[in-house]
Amino acid sequence: MIDIEKIRRDTPSCESVLHFNNAGSSLMPKPVFDAVLQVLNNENSVGGYEAERLAQDDISAFYTEFAGLLNCTDGEIAYVENATRAWDMAFYGLHLAPGDRVITHASEYASNYLALLQQSRRLGFEIDLVPSDAFGQIDVGALDQMIGPRTKLIAITHVPTQGGLVNPAAAVGRIAKKHGVFYMLDACQSVGQINVDVAQIGCDVLSGTGRKFLRGPRGTGFLYVRRGIMDRIDPPFIDLLSATWTQADRYEFADGAKRFENWESFVAGRVGLMTAVRYARGIGMRNIEARVETIGQDVRNTLAQLRGVEVHDLGEKKCGIVTFTKAGIASADLADTLRDGGINVSVSKMQSARLDLEPRGLSSLVRASVHYFNTAAEVQRFALAVDAA
């Protein structure tokens, strides 16, 4: 299974800081950090374009590693600078018209929802919210019922930024397929902590980031677009990489998901993210998923026993994100106190999850997000610090 000692040796900083902020930005394993530095060093010593030539094999491996991770083909993967822009490149390219309907859920990521609001104003489509079931996750039966002839898109988030919930993405995929509705999945918090298989889920588009559970560098992300629906999206921006200027008044899109990329990009970041995916696959996504789920549950159970602490995670299946509040102390102050003690967590605010947190009367939550390199001893140390705060 997982060789935790080796893994912690690969991440020297996990000995100096207790990192429960993997949903914010994880710690890079040493091979990832070294890969980024190698490219930067080459850029410094031989030149940027020349360094890119030297990294050619690693740059192509970006596509094959992601294809292996997500169970798709190389041509269905694009490098994009973050998950938000990756999602936007697909969403803003959809042909939605007045009277069309788009279904999403209260767990949707704020930036995606803002884009839905902007485009619904411009294009005149309606946004429908699928209700939650008794667990607080997407009610798949209700989704099946509410799809009508004008429903053009289901856009949902697999794991929300503000809680341990894992939405039933594959069940949603079966409904989308049954009704022939386009399906976009924001997998920003799931890829890297959960085994995500696009064929099994049945999504048309999937987006994610590098820095979170994949443990890649900041400023990196990716987009998956299913080959069969590629031509139903008109990339909102093109350039001389994503398109070829074939005649003075004509152009053609690049083959496959390359049409969603842009010419200039963070080469060291691409190589770093490729290395992070390779590293995760080396450990095995099923091993990672099992361990993260166990440690996450350990955090939840331990916190629930502390006086004044309330855990707020929804969902039937839960993951490595744990959200809670403590009576008598503001979430931001609790996070500051923990940081002073060498413990990293973050805070989820209502403005970044209005449809979810406002009805529950939660203005902010402390978010502790664990990864496979964390240990039961760290969970104990964390609980003592929360209790003392």
Ligand X SMILES: *Cc1c(COP(=O)(O)O)cnc(C)c1O
- Kindly state the smallest distance separating residue 32's Cβ from ligand X, in Å: 16
* 209 is a site residue for ligand X (CB under 6 A): yes
- Kindly state the smallest distance separating residue 260's Cβ from ligand X, in Å: 15
Residue 42 or 167 with smaller CB distance to ligand X: 167
Q: Which amino acid is at 93?
A: G
* 188 is a site residue for ligand X (CB under 6 A): yes
Residue 237, CA atoms < 13 Å, CB-side half-sphere = 10
* 193 is a site residue for ligand X (CB under 6 A): no
* 186 is a site residue for ligand X (CB under 6 A): yes
Residue 147 or 365 with smaller CB distance to ligand X: 365
Tokens read off for 43: 């850029």
- Kindly state the smallest distance separating residue 222's Cβ from ligand X, in Å: 10
Q: Which amino acid is at 229?
A: I
Interface pick for ligand X out of 83, 230, 271, 385 (rule CB under 6 A): 83
Neighbours of 375 (CB within 10 A): 16
* 109 is a site residue for ligand X (CB under 6 A): yes
- Kindly state the smallest distance separating residue 114's Cβ from ligand X, in Å: 11
146-175 binders of ligand X (CB under 6 A):
157, 160-161
Tokens read off for 59: 């740059």
Residue 82 or 344 with smaller CB distance to ligand X: 82
Residue 38 or 209 with smaller CB distance to ligand X: 209
Residue 83 or 147 with smaller CB distance to ligand X: 83
Residue 22 or 42 with smaller CB distance to ligand X: 22
Helix (H) or strand (E) holding 325: strand 321-326
Residue 110 or 299 with smaller CB distance to ligand X: 110
* 26 is a site residue for ligand X (CB under 6 A): no
Q: Which of 58, 62, 54, 6 is nearest to 30 (CA)?
A: 6
Nearest-angstrom CA–CA distance, 107 and 355: 7
- The answer to whether 20 touches 298, Cβ cutoff 8 Å, is no
The residue length of the chain stands at 389
Nearest-angstrom CA–CA distance, 133 and 141: 9
- Kindly state the smallest distance separating residue 307's Cβ from ligand X, in Å: 30
Nearest-angstrom CA–CA distance, 301 and 370: 14
* 331 is a site residue for ligand X (CB under 6 A): no
* 364 is a site residue for ligand X (CB under 6 A): no
Alpha helices in 17-109 (DSSP H): 30-46, 48-54, 56-70, 83-91
Interface pick for ligand X out of 22, 26, 82, 275 (rule CB under 6 A): 82
Nearest-angstrom CA–CA distance, 199 and 193: 18
- Kindly state the smallest distance separating residue 107's Cβ from ligand X, in Å: 8
- Kindly state the smallest distance separating residue 245's Cβ from ligand X, in Å: 30
* 84 is a site residue for ligand X (CB under 6 A): yes
Nearest-angstrom CA–CA distance, 132 and 122: 28
Q: Which of 282, 137, 288, 266 is nearest to 210 (CA)?
A: 266
Q: Which amino acid is at 121?
A: R
Q: Which stretch binds ligand X (CB under 6 A): 63-71, 131-139, 183-191, 281-289?
A: 183-191
Question: Which parts of this chain interact with ligand X (CB under 6 A)?
Answer: 82-84, 109, 157, 160-161, 186, 188-189, 209, 221
